Structure 1
Amino acid sequence: MTIDLDDAIAAETKLSHVDGDNGELIILGENLKDIVKLEFEEVLSKLFKNLFHINYTHDEIKVLLAKARKEVFSLYEPNDVFLSEMPIVDAVRTLISKIKDGNDIETAIKLIAAIGVFTAALISKRNHRKLLVPDLNINHATDILRIAGLDYSEIHSTALNTYLVTIIDHGLNASTFTSRVVASTHAGLTSSVIAALSALKGPLHGGAPGPVLDMIDQISSQENALPWLETTLKKGERLMGFGHRIYKVRDPRADALKEALLSLNDSFVVDKNKLNLAYFIEITALDVLKRTKPNRPLHTNVEFYTALLLDSLGFNRADFTAIFAAGRVAGWLAHAREQIMYGRLIRPQSKYIGNLPNNNTMT
């Protein structure tokens, strides 16, 4: 028995459109290749336009987000042993629950700040680095790297900014749908984000980028690539970083992140041997997939280059889901507000296929 909602229309939105046949992602009426050129804060101002009772400019959003980073930072307790023993994404979810539920833009900005700040602070704590207070004079991507204790020079912050923008919204995926369901009850934006983050951490949704690096590590050399890939497919297993539920052609986000990754080529943090191996694995995998699954289009997806980019920026693979959430939270919030403003309580029907009492039959 297979149950899904693939062909069901559950919402109308002006936020994003995923064209799987043509490999296009449209955000706010613009193609992804144009959106990724913008600063994260500028995309926020566009994303939230007309969704709250006040519209802020790019510069105003930048100031509000910086102030919010400093405010939520006070909610983090570095000596909390309970938090330090949890996976980062679970610790972030726990910390977010400290933020009062609300449906205004101030709550939304605070939640965006919170995921970035909490993730970065937890990374810093785990690596025994000095905990830095948020800086009001830099942008969100730069401050995430800075607080985490990573290289936050312009080339690195630009690459992370590209990542945050690239994954900011992507249609009605599982976590975004979850945010809309909770928002439809008018529970509040904090509740919507907590629910969405809980959906994201599931390995079928947000947990795949890490295993891309596991795959590369296991292959270990160009000579091993072809036999490893062929053996894995013969076992009926997936190749991490390839194929997508919606895209029938190459995922446009993969190209955006590959370009960001290439910009880091001269950076000392980049492991060029690993990247050269990854590029070889990608070419080989696409050829093997084309030969072995000719009737099923499987192409490079966002997870492949997400793993390589975040790894090159210095994040551990265990951090990836939380860093993804730092960008996607803006999309969750925009969808939540859209649902509150224009939608109803989401209450789909189910079809009962169980037994009936007293041998009655369904009519």
Structure 2
Amino acid sequence: MGTKHIAIGLEGIVVAESDLSLVDGLNGHLVYRGHWARDLAIQHTFEEVAHLLWYGHLPNETELQQLKNKLAENRTLPEHVKKALDGIPADVDMMSALRSGVSLLAEQGHGWPPTLEQVISITAKIPTIVAYRYARQEGRAPIDPRPDLGHTANYLYMCKGQEPTVAHVRGLDAYLILTQEHGMNASTFAARVVSSTRSDLVSAITAAIGALKGPLHGGAPSEVTEMMEAIGTKENAEPWLRQALENGERLMGFGHRVYKTKDPRATALSVVASELSKDDPWFELATHVEQVGVKLLAEYKPGRQLNTNVEFYAAAVMRAVGLPDELFTPTFAVSRTVGWCAHVLEQAANNRIIRPESNYTGLMPE
């Protein structure tokens, strides 16, 4: 019996056509529906880019206000979800709690095919689930969402208990835009596989969260944050980084498996951080560390083109806005839900069940 070629991890295998995004690692390009993602992050808001991915075009003023209103109207959690979150033991990690909370939003996402109303409802509630669980872990009463705040500002408000500064909303908004969508990654593929069976939207998003929870996908900024805290000041950046390179250590937040040139998401966040550096000292330090790190890496590892990746500025943004490391991956989910939902809608529009094969390597019966 013959065997077929195996692409371990499906690497290099094209499983769908999509007009949602282009991830070009060789040239350092990230495109959302015909727009440079970096430009969207610099010039637009979370809601505008979500509209682009869901509806296929950037909104006019009326369309934008309608989407903002719908998101605000759908933020409140059902009581049974709150009770379930209250019952989860304190030592259960945030992503597991998020996965459980989302799975209970069944009335918002039953049936097939998925609808935009379901997409908006789930996207609006995921930040509330994260903030609710975080408040319980901190031993304080959860804060109700505020309909007068935008998506990003409301998330920060619920997590921290105070209205965020313009600089913090701007920085986190840019990060959330740049992580809304990134091609056929593991969590997106998981969502499309589940949706291809004609299962409901909630099941698809729950599966995606399960995939994002894995450390090889969701990642964590703690190593970058620890490096930045160890450096501490702009004056200490070059001696600290040079010593690390002399010791053969890796500079955290530099280099990327996919992008062979500069990560376009880091490029955009670098621009935003530079704009905000006068308002936040952490952004100022991050911008300086990036400049020094790139210079030293070119000196110590010539020809490698090791630039900052999105993890570097994700850590800078999280630290600046005051979100702890344990909220990094859940915050990633807050943004990537937009892309997951867009892919589920796309899958449903031209559905065929995703059913790859495997080569049998076991024994045959005698």
> Into which bin does the TM-score normalised by the smaller protein fall?
0.7 to 0.9
- Distance in structure 2 (CA, Å) of the matches to 1:26 and 1:79: 37
Counterpart for residue 47 of structure 2: 41
Most deviating of 71-80 and 117-126: 71-80
Counterpart for residue 314 of structure 2: 306
- C-alpha contact 1:180 1:336 (8 A) present in aligned 2: yes
Q: 2:195 aligns with which of 177, 183, 186?
A: 183
| Cα deviation, residue 23, structure 1 | 1.3
- Distance in structure 2 (CA, Å) of the matches to 1:299 and 1:118: 35
Q: 2:259 aligns with which of 247, 254, 257?
A: 247
- C-alpha contact 2:273 2:284 (8 A) present in aligned 1: no
Instruction: Write the deviation string for residues 75-104 of structure 1: whole angstroms up to 9, x where unpaired.
Output: 324982525332222211111111114322
- Distance in structure 2 (CA, Å) of the matches to 1:113 and 1:107: 10
Q: 1:337 aligns with which of 314, 336, 345?
A: 345
Residues 137 and 73 of structure 1: CA distance in aligned 2, closer, same or farther (over 3 Å): farther
Counterpart for residue 349 of structure 1: 357
State, as a whole percentage, how many aligned pairs show the same letter. 36
- C-alpha contact 1:65 1:113 (8 A) present in aligned 2: yes
Residues 210 and 150 of structure 1: CA distance in aligned 2, closer, same or farther (over 3 Å): farther
Instruction: Write the deviation string for residues 37-71 of structure 1: whole angstroms up to 9, x where unpaired.
Output: 222122222211169xxxx9222211111011024
Q: Does 1:227 align with 2:262?
A: no
Segments of 5+ residues of structure 2 without an aligned counterpart are: 1-5
Q: After superposition, where does 1:1-363 map in structure 2 within 5 Å? A: 3-36=8-41, 37-49=43-55, 57-72=63-78, 75-77=81-83, 80-100=86-106, 101-102=109-110, 103-148=114-159, 149-218=161-230, 221-222=236-237, 223-233=239-249, 239-267=251-279, 270-272=280-282, 276=285, 278-279=286-287, 281-287=289-295, 289-290=297-298, 293-294=301-302, 296-352=304-360, 354-357=361-364
Counterpart for residue 3 of structure 2: none
- TM-score after normalising by structure 1: 0.85
Instruction: Write the deviation string for residues 295-337 of structure 1: whole angstroms up to 9, x where unpaired.
Output: 6443211110001011100100111000111011010010011
- C-alpha contact 2:77 2:128 (8 A) present in aligned 1: no
The amino acid that maps onto 2:21 is S
- C-alpha contact 2:261 2:305 (8 A) present in aligned 1: yes
Helix, strand or coil at the partner of 2:27: coil
- Distance in structure 1 (CA, Å) of the matches to 2:356 and 2:294: 39
- Distance in structure 1 (CA, Å) of the matches to 2:307 and 2:172: 24
Helix, strand or coil at the partner of 1:26: strand
Root-mean-square deviation (CA), in Å? Answer: 2.8
The amino acid that maps onto 1:351 is N
The amino acid that maps onto 2:51 is S
Instruction: Write the deviation string for residues 175-225 of structure 1: whole angstroms up to 9, x where unpaired.
Output: 111111111111111111111111112111111323211333456643332
The amino acid that maps onto 2:129 is F
Residues 351 and 219 of structure 1: CA distance in aligned 2, closer, same or farther (over 3 Å): farther
- Distance in structure 1 (CA, Å) of the matches to 2:130 and 2:227: 25
Segments of 5+ residues of structure 1 without an aligned counterpart are: none
- Distance in structure 2 (CA, Å) of the matches to 1:72 and 1:230: 55
| Cα deviation, residue 281, structure 1 | 4.4
Matched residue pairs, number?
Answer: 346
- TM-score after normalising by structure 2: 0.85
| Cα deviation, residue 349, structure 1 | 2.0
- Distance in structure 2 (CA, Å) of the matches to 1:228 and 1:34: 34
The amino acid that maps onto 1:286 is V
| Cα deviation, residue 29, structure 1 | 0.8
Residues 185 and 256 of structure 1: CA distance in aligned 2, closer, same or farther (over 3 Å): same
Helix, strand or coil at the partner of 2:323: coil
Instruction: Write the deviation string for residues 22-42 of structure 1: whole angstroms up to 9, x where unpaired.
Output: 211110111113322222122
- Distance in structure 2 (CA, Å) of the matches to 1:50 and 1:300: 30
- C-alpha contact 2:273 2:287 (8 A) present in aligned 1: no
Helix, strand or coil at the partner of 1:9: coil
